[in-house]
Amino acid sequence: MSVIRKLNMYLVKYLCFVQRKFLTMAKKSVKLYTDNVIEAFYDAIRNNSLDRLHIPHSDVYYVRAACEARYGRKFTLKHVEEAMKAEGWTDGD
């Protein structure tokens, strides 16, 4: 297995760990609203700010894809997540 593939597998596992650990924190002080989640994740690692990183719930990605397919235009993760919350959706907090 190539070094790059091993590194990618490690990063995916670490990202899942970070999601479980930090997205269930009682206090989220900063929300990440960018479609470049992986770049923001690497920036947070580099800046030692994982405790402030918000990665949208997987439901947000599915709803965004469905809305984009239905309406034929792009939506930001922030827009979709805010609309879902306005309709009563919670991410388990």
In this structure, the number of other CB atoms found within 10 A of the CB of residue 21 comes to 11
Q: For residue 67, which amino acid is it?
A: C
**What is the Cα–Cα distance from 86 to 17, expressed in whole angstroms?**
28
Instruction: Judge contact between 45 and 66, C-beta under 8 A.
Output: no
Binned at pLDDT 50, 70 and 90, residue 35 comes out as low
Instruction: Report pLDDT digits (tens) over 36-89.
Output: 788 888 888 888 888 888 888 889 989 999 999 999 999 998 899 999 999 999
> Which DSSP state fits 53?
-
Q: What pLDDT, on a 0 to 100 scale, did the predictor assign at position 26?
A: 47
What's this model's pTM, rounded to 2 decimal places? 0.57
Residue with more model confidence, 9 or 76? 76
Q: What pLDDT, on a 0 to 100 scale, did the predictor assign at position 24?
A: 53
